[in-house]
Structure 1
Amino acid sequence: MTPNEAVEHAIRSRRAVRAFLPDPVEPGLLRRLIELAAQAPSGTNMQPWKLRVIGPQARARLEAALLAALAAGERPGAEEYRYYPVQFREPYLARRRKVGWDLYGLLGVTKGDTEGMKRQTAANLRFFDAPVALMLTIDRDLEIGSWLDLGMFIQTLLIAAQGHGLDSCPQAIFAQFHPIVRRELAIPEHEVVVCGIAIGKADSDAPANRLVPEREPVEGFTTWLD
């Protein structure tokens, strides 16, 4: 592939993977991906992102605590930040419902199957068994512009991973369980727990990984001005 084709392929082939092979990721490659992500733009070069690479011992403690809370039916508590609107409206409601039920359909989880949904939540809290588990935070006193910068860092990291033959999944669920994440990873109160990221090689046999979300055509969200 030409450089242009390689970039386009990495962008188009990237998707949220929800089942990973146990194949390890070389530490040197992971560091390279993080270095590439750090080239993301940020207003006045503030570089507001903060990243934690979760090692085996810390990950075991974190996952055990999260799964124990899930099994006990404990509610995560107040949201760390509001990811979704209080009231969904169209077209966002239909898109959200479709991708959700498309995923659960692949998993064999039907409406009202609380145990099936709980199993999928548990997999999410285990970083879908990916070999690499990351946690992203941002200082609480920063404004929306810095959150945009953090989003660009995350996307650059995901595309860099894809370009190097790795798959990924950004995971907002950890923000819901932020008190546990904060405690187990020693994250100070002045940092907001934004999301986790799982990285590794996709398990091509896993039903969940057959999900390919639909994308809106350019005409659906673009206005061409003369």
Structure 2
Amino acid sequence: MERHPLAPSLDATTLAHAVDWAIASRRSIRAFSPQAVSRQDIDAILEVARYAASGMNTQPWQVHVLTGSAKERLSRAIAAIDDDPQHSQELREPYTYYPLTWVAPFVDRRRKVGWDLYGLLGISKGDKARMHQQHGRNYHFFDAPVGLIFTIDKVMAQGSFLDYGMFLQSIMVAARARGLDTCPQAAFTKFHAVISQQLVIPDSQMVVCGMSLGYAAANSVENTLVTEREPVSAFTTYHHHVHQEATP
């Protein structure tokens, strides 16, 4: 029988603070330093993330780890298509990530984070060339030394995407615990065909997303972006038990 991780060696208060810190300090980093990430750290992150919950223990995740020339080769292949407007417009997403019709408050939050980022970078609303350039940095994993591509079997349904989200969160939190940063990237899904070709992914699988992994670049202005979060009271409803007398 497989052994689970050992019991924590920290006292309860220190452990709670450490876990809370790892979750709350996670941010999408968009500029990474060239400092290498050890294979030992990558393996340790995936080792703990595999304990993420999944319906009926289906464990629907498949992970492709890219470094060095393999990562650069994929980035060049995607960038070539991304820089060709006609070719890029012909691509189709393997699944619908965002709503087809945006409504408040979701559209407002989306716009705010976009313009906040562009504002930090000095990109004006009409500067489509610089917007495209910045968005294209996704496909170079924001210069992170490690790129992750996640795939799922096409037979799996929506519930497995819930499972996948828990797996991705586990990776990001485990990375923070090791002083590393990440950026989960839905931008890769559009290029699932070229990714599948480059990484020899079977037709039975599709790309879920990508992720950059590494150490945040110091003094990069885009890394100062902190998104606003709603207070717990804004999204939580408590239903208290109320005893009701049986009616005759």
TM bucket, shorter chain: over 0.9
What code does the residue aligned with 1:45 have? N
Q: Does 1:31 align with 2:50?
A: no
Structure 2 counterpart SS, 1:17: coil
Provide TM-score, normalisation by structure 1: 0.97
Rounded Cα–Cα distance in structure 2 between residues aligned with 1:170 and 1:155: 9
- Would you say the 8 A contact 2:72–2:140 is kept in 1? no
Match of 2:5 in 1: none
Rounded Cα–Cα distance in structure 1 between residues aligned with 2:108 and 2:136: 25
What code does the residue aligned with 1:148 have? L
1:143-194: per-residue Cα shift (whole Å, max 9, x none)?
1111111110000000000011000000111101112111111111211101
Provide TM-score, normalisation by structure 2: 0.88
Match of 1:211 in 2: 225
Rounded Cα–Cα distance in structure 2 between residues aligned with 1:206 and 1:60: 22
Match of 1:91 in 2: 105
How large is the RMSD of aligned CA atoms in angstroms?
1.1
Match of 2:135 in 1: 121
Map of 1:120-139 to 2, 5 A cutoff? Answer: 120-139=134-153
Match of 1:15 in 2: 27
| The one of 212, 221, 225 aligned to 1:198 | 212
Rounded Cα–Cα distance in structure 2 between residues aligned with 1:64 and 1:81: 24
Rounded Cα–Cα distance in structure 2 between residues aligned with 1:20 and 1:175: 22
Gaps of 5+ in 1: none
Match of 2:62 in 1: 50
Query: CA shift at 1:102, angstroms?
Result: 0.4
Rounded Cα–Cα distance in structure 2 between residues aligned with 1:200 and 1:78: 29
The ranges of structure 1 where at least 4 consecutive aligned residues each deviate by more than 3 angstroms after the TM superposition are none
Match of 1:183 in 2: 197
Structure 1 counterpart SS, 2:88: coil
Structure 1 counterpart SS, 2:171: helix
Rounded Cα–Cα distance in structure 1 between residues aligned with 2:206 and 2:83: 25
Rounded Cα–Cα distance in structure 1 between residues aligned with 2:100 and 2:159: 22
Rounded Cα–Cα distance in structure 2 between residues aligned with 1:204 and 1:95: 27
Gaps of 5+ in 2: 1-12, 241-248
Report percent identity of matched pairs.
Answer: 46
Query: CA shift at 1:66, angstroms?
Result: 1.1
| The one of 155, 168, 171 aligned to 1:154 | 168
Rounded Cα–Cα distance in structure 2 between residues aligned with 1:192 and 1:221: 32
